[in-house]
Amino acid sequence: MPEIKRIDLMMPFKLGRVNCYLLKNDSDYILIDTGSSNQQAELEEALENEGCMPGNLKLIILTHGDFDHTGNVAYLSLKFGTQVAMHIDDSGMAEYGNMFFNRKEPNILIRKIIPVLSGFGKKERFRPDLMIEGGDDLSAYGFDAEVISIPGHSRGSIGILTANGDFFCGDLFENMDEPSLNSIMDESDTANASIEKLTRFKIKTVYPGHGKPFLIEQFNRSN
Ligand SMILES: [Zn+2]
C-alpha cells in the first residue's frame, strides 16, 4: 500500500491553504496536485524531504484545473521530467490560463483578473501529457489505484481511489469546520450525482483539496 504524505501549502492573498498529496510505493512517487505558484519553493522542499526527486516522480496527477492545484505543474514537470495527467475537460484551464474554461462564465473583468491575482500567468500554463478519465488505472505507474470522474466543481474534476480505500477527491469535498461539499460548485446537481456515484466504490478515507483528511462516514453523518 502506498504511503501518503499530505503537503499543505498557503494560497495567495490569505485565501487559506491547499493540499497536495505525495504517494510513495517502494521508491516510486506520484504527486496529486501541486498547489499555487507562490509556494513553489515550499513544495520543492517538501518533496526533497520525502526523497522525491527527478527520476523517481513517476506522474503528476491533477484533480482539476484550478490555479491553486496546478500552479507548479509547468515548473515541476520541467525540473523532474515528469508527465502530467488530467481530464481533458479541464485542460483548457491549464493551456490558456482560463479558469472558466468549460464553466459557467462570470463577467470578463473577473475572468481576466483571476489569473493575474492567482499567480497563474503565461509561464504557469502547460499542456498535459496524458488525458485520463473515470475507469483508468495507475498500474502502469506502479500504483494500485483507479480514476473516478467526479464533475461538479469543474467539468473535468477527477478523484483517485487506491485499493486501500483512500480517495483523493480534489475539490468535490472540503474539510474546513467539518467534512462537506466544497463551497464552490460550478454545477451542484452534477456534484450531487458524483457523490451518489461514489456509493458504488469502497471508500474509507477522503483526502480533500482543502482541509484535513476524514472518514467517509463523517461526511454522511453531517448531511
Ligand atoms: Zn481548490
pLDDT band of 222, cuts 50, 70, 90: very low
Amino acid at 88: I
- pLDDT tens track for 123-176: 999 999 999 999 999 999 989 999 999 999 999 999 999 999 999 999 999 999
- Residue 122's Cβ-count burial label (10 Å; 0-12, 13-18, 19+) is exposed
Q: How far apart are CA 92 and CA 96, in angstroms?
A: 6
| CA 24 to ligand 1 center in whole angstroms | 23
Q: H-helix or E-strand containing 83? A: none
Q: Quick one: CATH architecture of 3-221?
A: 4-Layer Sandwich (3.60)
pLDDT value of position 117: 73
| CA 174 to ligand 1 center in whole angstroms | 9
Angle formed at CA 206 by CA 215 and CA 61, multiple of 5 degrees: 165
| CA 11 to ligand 1 center in whole angstroms | 9
| CA 210 to ligand 1 center in whole angstroms | 7
Mean pLDDT of the chain, nearest integer: 92
| CA 17 to ligand 1 center in whole angstroms | 9
| CA 208 to ligand 1 center in whole angstroms | 9
Amino acid at 191: A
Closest CA relative to residue 132, chosen from 148, 117, 116: 148
| CA 209 to ligand 1 center in whole angstroms | 6
CB distance 102 to 18 below 8 Å: no
- pTM of the complete model: 0.94
Alpha helices in the chain (DSSP H): 40-49, 67-70, 73-80, 91-96, 108-118, 188-198, 216-221
| CA 86 to ligand 1 center in whole angstroms | 15
The structural domains of the chain, with segments of one domain joined by +, span: 3-221
